[in-house]
Amino acid sequence: MYEAFFGLRELPFSLTPDPRFLWMSETHEEGLAALYYGITRRKGFILLTGEVGAGKTTLLRAVLDRIPSETETALILNTSGLGSLDLLKLIITEFGLSLEAGTKADYLIVLNRFLLTRLARGYNTVLVIDEAQNLGAEALEEVRLLSNLETDTEKLLQIVLTGQPELLDKLADPSLRQLRQRISIEHHVEALGQEEVGVYLRHRIEVAGGKYEEIFEPALEPLFYGASLGCPRLISLLADRALLAAYSRECRPVSREIVESKARQITTTRGGRPLALPPR
């Protein structure tokens, strides 16, 4: 809607997890390296955690774009209310396998055959479970049992669990200690520092074909940080709302007044502390 007004090819602050817009902060670079290493070296269990909006899903998609093309991936996104059998059925379906009905053992046999066939051809197979904090103890235990699908020398299935910090609390439960001990690689995505906010904004604008200095007035970065506390999703949300408001007022570049107004709205709706605006 406002792209042409600001000289952009596309929306720079869409909340969809487009890997092109991923800015590689230090924490994202480390996470990308950990995920790539764990998947390609067949390390078995990998854990990725971070607060809501930290960029976990975008990071995952960036990794999946980089791994060898013959790698087969099942991506489980809807985890709410899944029991162990439901989870197995969903995994089978995501790998393109079919079994009209059967017991848990039947599903495991079909999956095991599929994985052995792929290993014989030298192919890697990855299961990614997003928002894994929504899984109950029974389903998480089923995930652990999937890691038993292996030969004497190779893991048949690489399993990536991603989730919010509550997932760490869940995995700390003594009943899941066997699963916790299986995790070979883990990374927690941290929020951006204040000095990184401007680089993040500039990167996304440039990917969309714009020039940062022509879109935002100088020295607005502290406002973005104060409203978001470094959460990439909230930074993007604030920037998108500010650009829309500036477009409606035909204000270019985006003024401090507009960003302040939209920042107050965001801190109110997310239930955050009152916004402490930096001095002009």
Last residue of a domain, one of 189, 218, 242: 189
Q: Is the peptide bond before 253 cis (omega within 30 degrees of 0)?
A: yes
**Residue 243 counted as domain residue:** yes
For residue 187, give the nearest of 204, 167, 215, 209 by alpha carbon: 167
Please determine, for residue 203, whether its predicted confidence score (pLDDT) is greater than 90: yes
For residue 83, the model assigns a pLDDT of: 86
Two structure tokens written together for 101: 């009905």
Question: Rg of the chain over CA atoms, in angstroms?
Answer: 22
pLDDT digits (tens, 9 = 90+) for 28-73: 999 999 999 999 999 989 999 999 999 998 899 899 999 999 999 9
pLDDT digits (tens, 9 = 90+) for 162-189: 999 999 999 999 999 999 999 999 999 9
For residue 62, the model assigns a pLDDT of: 92
What are the C-alpha distances in Å from 211 to residues 205, 217, 220, 233?
7, 12, 15, 21
Residues 130 and 47 in one domain: yes
pLDDT digits (tens, 9 = 90+) for 102-155: 788 999 999 999 999 999 999 999 999 999 999 999 999 999 999 888 888 888
| pTM across the whole model | 0.90
Last residue of a domain, one of 154, 189, 224: 189
- Residues 82 and 185 sit within 8 Å (Cβ to Cβ): no
- State which amino acid sits at residue 27: T
Distance in angstroms (rounded) separating the CA atoms of residues 131 and 52: 10
Place of tokens 């792929």: 118
For residue 275, the model assigns a pLDDT of: 55
Last residue of a domain, one of 189, 217, 248: 189
Residues 105 and 244 in one domain: no
**Residue 92 counted as domain residue:** yes
Please determine, for residue 272, whether its predicted confidence score (pLDDT) is greater than 70: no
Distance in angstroms (rounded) separating the CA atoms of residues 23 and 207: 10
- Give the pLDDT mean for 273-280: 56
Residues 199 and 185 in one domain: no
What are the C-alpha distances in Å from 118 to residues 67, 68, 147?
16, 14, 16
Please determine, for residue 218, whether its predicted confidence score (pLDDT) is greater than 60: yes
Place of tokens 């048949």: 156
Distance in angstroms (rounded) separating the CA atoms of residues 36 and 274: 40
**Residue 203 counted as domain residue:** yes
Share of the chain above pLDDT 70, in %: 95
**Residue 183 counted as domain residue:** yes
In total, how many domains does the chain have? 2
Residues 153 and 94 in one domain: yes
Beta-strand runs (E) in 53-174:
72-76, 125-129, 158-163
Q: What is the average pLDDT score of the chain?
A: 92
For residue 280, the model assigns a pLDDT of: 58
**184 is in which domain, residue-wise?**
26-189
Split at pLDDT 50, 70, 90, the class of 221 is very high
Residues 135 and 207 in one domain: no
